[in-house]
Amino acid sequence: MENFKLRKCKCSVSVFVPVYNEAKNICLNIQFLQSSLEKIGCLYEIIVVDDASTDTTIQALSGLVKNDNRLRILRYETGPSRRENLASSFEYAKYDLIVFTDCDLINTFDYISDLVLNLLSGNDIVIASRYLKDSKIKRNIFRLFLSKIYLFLIRICFRLDISDFLCGFKAFKRDVLLDLVKEMGYDNSFKRGIFWDAELLIRAKSAGYKIKEIPVVWFEGGKSSLNFSHEKGMFFYIIKFMFKFAHGKNKT
C-alpha cells in the first residue's frame, strides 16, 4: 500500500550517503540501497559524500557511477568532518525530498518508503528511532549504554522530546533542511562532531518544524560514530551552544 501511494504521488528523492574509508563494502551497500529505492518506484538520485577517505573508496565506486547517471560522488579533501561536509552537500540535491543514511544500514534501507511517506503526509522532518516500542535493534551492550547516556543528557539539557536523534537515517523537505544547515553554519574546527544531529533537531524544534519519529529494524555496523575519546572538543562546543541557546541566541 505504501509503495502504491508513493508511485501515485510521483515523488522524487535525493539520497545522501556519507562515507569514510568504506572501500570494502561500499559497492554492495549502494546496490542494496538502490534495490530499496527501486521497490518504491520513485524518481531518485544517490549522492555519495566522501568525507576525505584515505582508502580506495572512490576507486571502488567508479564502476557503479560510470554506468548509472543516478549515482554521483562528492569528494572532500578536508576531514573526516563527521557531518560538516555532508551538510555542505545538501545544496546539490536535485529533488525536493532529501534522505541521508549511513552506508552500513542495509537492514534499514527498506524503511526509506516510511520516511518518504511520512514527509508526504505533512511532516517537515522524519527520523528513524531505534528506541521506539516497535523498533528492533541489535547492538553492542557497551555502545548501547553510551548512546543512552548521551541521549538522556542532551534531552535533559535542551528539553528535546525526541527519543533518538543519533540514528543516521533521516528525511527532510529540501527547503527546511537547507534553511537549518545555513543557520547552523560550517564548523571549521570539526569540534561539533556527533552533536551535529542533535543541534539540527534542537534548532528545528525551536523553529516550529513538524518532526515525526518512526520505528525501524537496525543492526549495528562494524563501526560506531559514538566514541567519546574522539569527541573531547564536542563537550566544550555543547556548553557554548547551550549558553547561547538558553539566552535566545541560537543562531551562530
* Local confidence pLDDT in tens for the 252 residues of the chain: 455 455 555 789 999 999 999 999 999 999 999 999 998 888 999 999 999 999 999 999 998 999 999 999 999 999 999 999 999 999 999 999 999 999 988 889 999 999 999 999 999 999 999 999 999 988 788 888 888 999 999 999 999 999 999 999 999 999 999 999 999 999 999 999 999 999 999 999 999 999 999 999 988 765 555 555 567 789 999 999 998 887 675 444
- SS3 of residue 204 by DSSP: helix
- Separation of alpha carbons 245 and 217, rounded Å: 34
- Per-residue pLDDT of 226-249, as tens digits, reads 555 567 789 999 999 998 887 675
- Separation of alpha carbons 195 and 57, rounded Å: 26
Statement: the pTM of the whole predicted model exceeds 0.75: yes
Domain limits, the chain: 2-246
Within a 10 A sphere around the Cβ of 121, how many other Cβ atoms?
11
- Per-residue pLDDT of 210-230, as tens digits, reads 999 999 998 876 555 555 556
**Grid coordinates representing 16?**
545522501
- Separation of alpha carbons 44 and 38, rounded Å: 9
The CATH T-level fold of domain 2-246 is Spore Coat Polysaccharide Biosynthesis Protein SpsA; Chain A (3.90.550)
